[in-house]
A and B are shown apart, each in its own frame.
Chain A
């Protein structure tokens, strides 16, 4: 799963730490999601979408290379 969280965060001048605080997760979790190492569960994905005022589909796209 690919996502645009890093770009969205940069446009809002938010650090990973700040985003993590808003989402009530650890910075490690934000970092892992941004680097496509971890796909969040739906409640967290909705939270992320809400923080950036977008839909889940706007932020997360399936990785087409993976089967």
Chain B
């Protein structure tokens, strides 16, 4: 994300990167713990909730990053989300209808994988919006 004030922008993007690293580490740790059957339920629930905190932090940094952008860059972000949101709806609708039609393999085509597609849709929308300006 390009910022207007270089020093503040660099600090913000460092925090953004740090929050992303914390999230990835927390997510991987949670997946490792959740794969083990021997942990009791409380540990498993705590592990499942572990990535929520760094993810919320990452989201907060993302919002602050957008707030620090100029009006054109904010518009580009909005257009990126305008592309990403309907694509997500299409994906959810397609999965929903396919699930009614046939039995979908839960490991490959389950709703739990949809969230991972959202950044992809967002970057697709971002590339699309950036080309306009």
Contacts and interface: CB of A to CB of B under 8 A. Distances in A.
Max chain A Cβ within 10 angstroms of own Cβ: one of B4, B71, B72, B75: B72
B99 interface: no
A29 B73 contact: yes
B133 A28 contact: yes
A38 B2 contact: no
A3 B52 CA distance: 47
B73 A38 contact: no
B71 A37 contact: no
Given A37-B132, A37-B133, A38-B133, A28 B72 contact: yes
A27 to B, nearest CB: 9
A13 to B, nearest CB: 23
Given A28-B133, A32-B133, A38 B72 contact: yes
Interface string A20-47: 0000111011001100011011001000
Interface in B48-80: 70-73, 75
Given A37-B132, A38-B133, A26 B71 contact: no
Contacts of A29: 70-73
Contacts of B133: 28, 32, 37-38
Contacts of B132: 37
A32 B4 contact: no
Interface of B: 2, 4, 70-73, 75, 132-133
13 contacts: A24-B4, A24-B70, A25-B71, A26-B4, A26-B70, A26-B72, A28-B2, A28-B73, A29-B71, A32-B72, A37-B133, A38-B75, A44-B71
